[in-house]
Amino acid sequence: EAGVAQSPRYKIIEKRQSVAFWCNPISGHATLYWYQQILGQGPKLLIQFQNNGVVDDSQLPKDRFSAERLKGVDSTLKIQPAKLEDSAVYLCASSARFSGGNNEQFFGPGTRLTVL
């Protein structure tokens, strides 16, 4: 079974530029998560999808971040415009179903973003 795929793996941009990340979850997984992990910290949830609907985006900075999962399969996360403090690893994870805390999440390799 293929794992969660993410691209690109690394991205360097200048502040005020735009950037997009792509995630393809494990086939058949209904729930998809985007996390931001700043160096030295644990992951922080940005947005959670159940199929193509948003379950939780309370911690997504909506003035500059957006995400979509139009067909309920792959997803894109966009930052426009980027700030220096957006430098982090962006992790995508998926789980087979949404059942609160009892669902095992499978993580992608992450995209390391550096904003100069």
Applying CB under 8 A, the residues found at the interface with other proteins are 33, 37, 40-45, 48, 56, 89, 91, 93, 100-102, 104-110, 112
For other proteins, give the closer residue by CB, 1 or 70.
Answer: 1
With vertex at residue 54, the alpha carbon angle to CA 106 and CA 75, rounded to the nearest 5 degrees, is: 55
For other proteins, give the closer residue by CB, 12 or 80.
Answer: 12
Smallest separation (angstroms) from other proteins to the CB of 5 = 12
Smallest separation (angstroms) from other proteins to the CB of 16 = 26
Q: Which residues contact 57 (CB under 8 A, 6 or more apart)?
A: 46, 47, 48, 67
| Whole-number Å distance between alpha carbons of 91 and 98 | 18
